[in-house]
């Protein structure tokens, strides 16, 4: 009985730490775009420094997942939960890395004015943050209703990226001296598009965790 209680407690801790890692990744991505909009290099530097916390958490969670599988031989839904944790922490880590990449761009741009008003890029961020938040809610509550429209939301993010790309390419043609700044913003938009893709990956894994059925969201 004591062994079983220890197993249940360890499984709960695993889920809580996975949730925490997701929250940290979400906040990092959100702050990165705020830093971009505000030209906040101090905030950008903090995002880069705090990336190591998420890296460490990923390593610890992965080790605990493998130990649970090896020592406890979980079955059915518990095994799906552990497998999902192992999968989605990789996506959370990539979201954190992409937030760090955006923060690096903020440091490169510094106080240089943006070549275009930042309207679509914050919108991409808002949608992707909503997707991550809904993933975290579904992960903790085991309710997947909010994940059903992820393909449609990802299509909106992709459409915004295409629009930003076209506008920035036109600026590069018309104002060659703005090419560096425009290319930086293009990479930011690309990173946000990738964050949306990672959110879809996470949602797919959570749907499998809850239902036992695989569904590809893209």
Which H, E and C letters describe the chain, residue by residue? Answer: CHHHHHHHHHHHHHHHHHHHHHHHHHHHHHHHHHHHHHCCHHHHHHHHHHHHHHHHHHHHHHHHHHHHHHHHCCCHHHHHHHHHHHHHHHHHHHHHHHHHHHHHHHHHHCCCCCCCCCCHHHHHHHHHHHHHHHHHHHHHHCCCHHHCCHHHHHHHHHHHHHHHHHHHHHHHHHCHHHHHHHHHHHHHHHHHHHHHHHHHHHHHHHHHHHHCCCCCCC
For 105-160, write each residue's pLDDT tens digit.
999 998 899 998 899 999 999 999 999 999 999 999 999 999 999 999 999 999 99
Residue 70 predicted with pLDDT over 90: no
Average pLDDT of the segment spanning 204-218: 88
Q: How confident is the model at residue 74 (pLDDT cuts 50, 70, 90)?
A: confident
Q: What is the residue extent of each domain of the chain?
A: 2-211
Class of domain 2-211: mainly alpha
- Is 23:136 a contact under the CB 8 Å cutoff? yes
d(CA 10, CA 175): 58
pLDDT, one tens digit per residue, over 190-200 is 999 999 999 99
Q: What is the pLDDT of residues 6-65, one digit of tens each?
A: 888 899 999 999 999 999 999 999 999 999 999 999 999 999 999 999 999 999 999 999
- The answer, yes or no, to whether residue 4 has pLDDT greater than 80, is no
Q: Sorting pLDDT into bands at 50, 70 and 90, what band is 3?
A: low
How far, in whole angstroms, is CA 65 from its chain's centroid? 20
CA distances from 196 to 2, 20, 25, 181, 192 (A): 42, 19, 13, 23, 6
Distance from C-alpha of 196 to C-alpha of 95, rounded to nearest angstrom: 9
pLDDT at 2: 61
pLDDT at 77 (0 to 100): 87
Question: Is residue 206 very low, low, confident or very high in pLDDT (cuts 50, 70, 90)?
Answer: very high
Max CA pair span of the chain: 72
pLDDT of residue 8: 84
Give per-residue burial for 174-200: e unless 16+ CB within 10 Å, then b.
eeeebeebbebbbbbbebbbbbbbbbb
């Amino acid at each position: 009985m004591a062994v079983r209680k220890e197993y249940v407690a360890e499984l709960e801790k695993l889920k809580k730490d996975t949730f925490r890692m997701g929250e940290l990744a979400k906040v990092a991505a959100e702050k990165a775009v705020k830093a971009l909009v505000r030209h906040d290099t101090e905030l950008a530097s903090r995002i880069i420094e705090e990336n190591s916390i998420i890296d460490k958490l990923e390593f610890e969670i992965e080790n605990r997942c493998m130990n649970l599988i090896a020592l406890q031989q979980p079955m059915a839904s518990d095994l799906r939960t552990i497998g999902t944790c192992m999968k989605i922490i990789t996506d959370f880590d990539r979201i954190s890395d992409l937030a760090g990449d955006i923060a690096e761009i903020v440091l490169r741009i510094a106080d240089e004015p943006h070549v275009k008003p930042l309207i679509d890029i914050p919108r991409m961020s808002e949608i992707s943050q909503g997707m991550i938040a809904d993933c975290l809610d579904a992960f903790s509550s085991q309710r997947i209703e909010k994940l059903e429209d992820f393909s449609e939301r990802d299509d909106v993010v992709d459409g915004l990226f295409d629009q930003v790309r076209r506008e920035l390419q036109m600026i590069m043609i018309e104002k060659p001296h703005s090419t560096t700044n425009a290319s930086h913003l293009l990479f930011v938009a690309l990173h946000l598009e990738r964050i949306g893709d990672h959110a879809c990956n996470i949602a797919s894994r959570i749907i499998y965790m809850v239902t036992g059925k695989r569904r590809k969201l893209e």
